Amino acid sequence: MGQGKQDEAISLLEESVRREPKVAGLEAQLGKAYYQKRDFHQAVIHFEMAARQQPEDGETTQLLGLSFYSLGQWAKAIPYLEKVQSRIPESEIDGPYLLGICYLHTQQPQKARGALARMFSVSPESAMAHLMLAKMMVRERNEEEAIPELQRAINIDPSLPMAHFLLGEIHLFKSNPQLALEEFKKELEVNPTVWLVYWRLGDAYARLEKYEEAVKALKQSIWLNETFTGPYVLLGEIGLKKGDLELAVGFLERALKLDPNNYYAHYFLGRAYQRMGRSEEARQEIERTQSLRMQKKQADQELLLPEKRR
């Protein structure tokens, strides 16, 4: 529904509510119209009225919970999302996930783990449940809280895939490449064919300036998945640091063929062109880098708005 038609529908519904405020269903329709418009504050007002009129209306209950969720009002969202869980089919995983996010933001990690366990059909006490909770914590930027969850997962199942990898990712994020390196090596002991692990292993080696080991790991990553740009960009960066400009350009141009909007590839390619005296090409890459950086900044700002978080 276009913006103009949405506003027209809202005006008609508001007029109907003014004329006949006790007619069942009108408040729910008005709340839904505001919800579709992403005006969640107004949606909440009308869904709350609708819920008082028809407390057993499952759709109104769910949309009221989702409106509170979209506003970042986690505690208020929980009772409504909990109420509709029994009505949601097992195949529908969004409900448990959103409820898990709410539990996490209200310092209820055990309940969050239980919601994720339902989502993945595993025991809440399983290693997988702890791993999934840690992943959710990282996604919500709670890295410190994720570390003990990952350690619990590993204690339950030392061969659990991706647990050591996620620990390594956290250490890289915290600028501790040596600890990251140790975790990535442990991951390879139980999970030796995942290209992501070799990519991050190469990243850790590069940050420690162990370029020979980094190049080997990054090439292993490419061998496992030649369409992913990450290793090519890192190999280009290493080539720049070692002064091998032709090699750097080759890797970076390959990265851009795979992903023309890769910010880092444009940035390092611009630097390589500058050092090679290819001024016009360097200028074009710098301009492209600035444009992509501006687009990313705008996208990040939109994600930070509570109404647009999900």
User: Looking at per-residue confidence, does 94 or 187 come out higher?
Assistant: 187
For residues 245 and 15, give the distance between their C-alpha atoms in angstroms, rounded to a whole number.
69
- Does 4 map to a domain? yes
Instruction: Give the domain-ending residue among 159, 190, 218.
Output: 159
Q: Residue 46 has what pLDDT?
A: 92
pLDDT over 70 at 90, yes or no: no
How many CB atoms are located within 10 Å of the residue 301 CB?
10
274-308 pLDDT, tens digit each: 999 999 999 999 999 999 888 877 766 665 554 44
- Does 104 map to a domain? yes
Q: What average pLDDT does this structure show over 209-235?
A: 97
Q: Residue 308 has what pLDDT?
A: 44
CATH number at residue 67: 1.25.40.10
Q: Do 98 and 145 belong to one domain?
A: yes
The pTM of the full predicted model, rounded to 2 decimals, is 0.83
- Does 1 map to a domain? yes
pLDDT over 90 at 42, yes or no: yes
- Does 41 map to a domain? yes
pLDDT over 80 at 20, yes or no: no
- Does 245 map to a domain? no
Domain that holds residue 7: 1-71
How many CB atoms are located within 10 Å of the residue 296 CB?
12
By the 8 A CB rule, do 100 and 116 touch?
A: yes
User: Looking at per-residue confidence, does 86 or 186 come out higher?
Assistant: 186
- Residues sharing a CB contact under 8 Å with residue 145, sequence separation 6 or more, in sequence order: 109, 137
For residues 239 and 249, give the distance between their C-alpha atoms in angstroms, rounded to a whole number.
8
Share of the chain above pLDDT 90, in %: 75
Nearest to 73 by CA among 110, 37, 98: 98
Instruction: Give the domain-ending residue among 20, 45, 71.
Output: 71
By the 8 A CB rule, do 62 and 48 touch?
A: no
- Amino acid letter for position 107: Q
**pLDDT-derived band of residue 184, with 50, 70 and 90 as boundaries?**
very high
**pLDDT-derived band of residue 169, with 50, 70 and 90 as boundaries?**
very high
Nearest to 112 by CA among 94, 126, 130: 130
Q: How far is CA 161 from CA 67, 124, 201, in A?
A: 36, 18, 16
Q: Residue 306 has what pLDDT?
A: 47
For residues 215 and 203, give the distance between their C-alpha atoms in angstroms, rounded to a whole number.
9
Q: Residue 18 has what pLDDT?
A: 76
Which residue in the block uniquely carries the two structure tokens 């509170």?
A: 68
Q: Do 67 and 1 belong to one domain?
A: yes
CATH number at residue 152: 1.25.40
246-264 pLDDT, tens digit each: 999 999 999 999 999 999 9
* Number of compact structural domains in the chain: 2
Q: Residue 235 has what pLDDT?
A: 98
**pLDDT-derived band of residue 1, with 50, 70 and 90 as boundaries?**
very low
For residues 112 and 142, give the distance between their C-alpha atoms in angstroms, rounded to a whole number.
14
- Does 268 map to a domain? no
Q: Residue 309 has what pLDDT?
A: 44
User: Looking at per-residue confidence, does 93 or 104 come out higher?
Assistant: 104
Average predicted confidence (pLDDT) for the chain? 90
For residues 112 and 107, give the distance between their C-alpha atoms in angstroms, rounded to a whole number.
9
Token pair for 166? 């996620």
Instruction: Give the domain-ending residue among 26, 42, 71.
Output: 71
**pLDDT-derived band of residue 88, with 50, 70 and 90 as boundaries?**
low
Radius of gyration for the alpha carbons in the chain, expressed in angstroms and rounded = 25
Q: Do 44 and 99 belong to one domain?
A: no
Q: Residue 300 has what pLDDT?
A: 63
pLDDT over 60 at 29, yes or no: yes
